[in-house]
Amino acid sequence: MALNLPIDVLRSFVAVVDGGSMLRASERVFLSQPAISLQIKRLEELLQIRLFRREGRRLVLTTQGDDVLVLAREMLALNDSIVATLTGDALAGPVRIGFVQDFAETLLQGLLAQLVALHPDARLEVRVGGTPQLLDLLDSDRLDIILGMGVAGDPTAIREEPMRWFGNAGLPARETIPLAVLERPCRFRDAAIAALDAAGRPYQLVVETPSLSVLRAAVRSGVGITCRTDLFEGLPEITGAVLPTLPSVSYVLRRRDRLAPAVLHLYDLIDERVRRMGVPDPELA
């Protein structure tokens, strides 16, 4: 009788290899670590071979495991190709996207509406965090697409924007400037402090928070000033020469190499929306 290998078990096996651990595999295939461990044991029993050996705390493929990995990737690619062909390029699994907080607040709602309209059965996994954290998750194959911020002049950036000061216009006139910032690591925090230090302007951190919503509330209520980009909408910008000039920041969009066509389409939608932010819609003019 023919031996049938379950596709979901092969997908978990490849996820363990790509992620380097059961924990990272569980984040990718959305199963618990015990469930993945049972799947690997089941695959080994079906094939009557050992797939992994332990070297300290690491899982390392055996020689036979290496052979199975090559064939498993081919089977998964063929499976996903069949699904995409027969379902009109439908999304076979969850789309895993990471945003910095600024984009999550201003961009995500419109993207969700577009994604649902194009792919009603889509599942979206959204991670909000700092750019270094998101890049690490992308590199370790735990996210498909990330949208973050980088240094000015990044040749791979899709857009660059100047940082701006926001808050009550009367606060910069104080002898000690009240400053509201996000917790480290934060390039806006670093830029604001560096600019004030360079200009010899005394300041005091009056609000320090991990939440952009709390930062927005603090600035809106007149507790302190802060620096962001135009994504920090709905709050008064402080203009003129009362505060030192700030640097620019780049918007960086990254993706994994191997993505389904539908996920690539979503990547293109994000790229287009970021590039067009602030551009008037001619149909509404």
Amino acid making up residue 72: A
Nearest to 267 by CA among 47, 98, 67: 98
Q: Does residue 2 form part of some domain?
A: no
At 39, list the tokens. Answer: 């799947």
Same domain as 267, residue 148:
yes
CATH number at residue 75: 1.10.10.10
Contact 98, 147 (CB under 8 A): yes
The Cα 178–Cα 207 span in angstroms is 8
Q: Is it the case that residue 196 has pLDDT exceeding 90?
A: yes
Nearest to 242 by CA among 164, 189, 180: 164
- Report helix angle 7-19 to 33-47, nearest 10: 110
Same domain as 11, residue 69:
yes
- Tell me how far CA of residue 39 lies from CA of 28, 113, 169, in angstroms: 15, 36, 61
* More confident: 118 or 59: 59
The Cα 260–Cα 15 span in angstroms is 16
Same domain as 11, residue 123:
no
pLDDT grade for 21, boundaries at 50, 70 and 90? confident
Same domain as 265, residue 152:
yes
Predicted pLDDT at 284: 31
Contact 211, 219 (CB under 8 A): no
Q: Does residue 169 form part of some domain?
A: yes
Q: Does residue 201 form part of some domain?
A: yes
- Domain end, chosen from 67, 86, 105, is at 86
How many helices (H) and strands (E) in the chain?
10, 11
Pairing of β 52-55 and β 124-128: unpaired
Across the chain, mean pLDDT equals 84
What mean pLDDT do residues 230-250 have?
86
Same domain as 181, residue 236:
yes
Predicted pLDDT at 1: 59
Q: Which of 14-23, 105-114, 249-258 has the highest mean pLDDT?
A: 249-258
* More confident: 198 or 184: 198
Q: Does residue 1 form part of some domain?
A: no
> Which range marks the domain in which residue 184 is found?
164-246
At 121, list the tokens. Answer: 């059965």
Same domain as 217, residue 175:
yes
Pairing of β 226-228 and β 164-166: antiparallel
Residues 6+ apart with CB under 8 A from 185: 130, 132
Name the 3-class secondary structure at 25. helix
- Domain end, chosen from 59, 86, 113, is at 86
Q: Does residue 78 form part of some domain?
A: yes
Same domain as 16, residue 76:
yes
Q: Is it the case that residue 281 has pLDDT exceeding 60?
A: no
**Residues 74-118 pLDDT 10s:** 888 787 777 666 655 555 567 788 998 888 877 776 777 777 676
What mean pLDDT do residues 3-23 have?
85
Predicted pLDDT at 283: 37
Q: What is the gyration radius of the CA atoms in the chain, in angstroms?
A: 24
The Cα 150–Cα 252 span in angstroms is 6
Say how far residue 140 (Cα) sits from the centre of its chain: 12
**Residues 37-46 pLDDT 10s:** 999 999 999 9
Same domain as 179, residue 152:
no
CATH number at residue 209: 3.40.190.10
The Cα 190–Cα 227 span in angstroms is 10
Same domain as 254, residue 116:
yes
Q: Is it the case that residue 187 has pLDDT exceeding 50?
A: yes
Number of domains in the chain: 3
Predicted pLDDT at 278: 64
Cα dihedral 113, 116, 118, 122 sign: positive
Q: Does residue 181 form part of some domain?
A: yes
Q: Does residue 127 form part of some domain?
A: yes
Backbone angles phi, psi at 166, to 5 degrees: -130, 145
Same domain as 258, residue 242:
no
- Domain end, chosen from 50, 69, 86, is at 86
Same domain as 142, residue 154:
yes
Name the 3-class secondary structure at 100. coil
Same domain as 44, residue 109:
no
Contact 216, 235 (CB under 8 A): yes
Q: Does residue 126 form part of some domain?
A: yes
Cα dihedral 189, 196, 205, 163 sign: negative
pTM recorded for the entire structure: 0.65
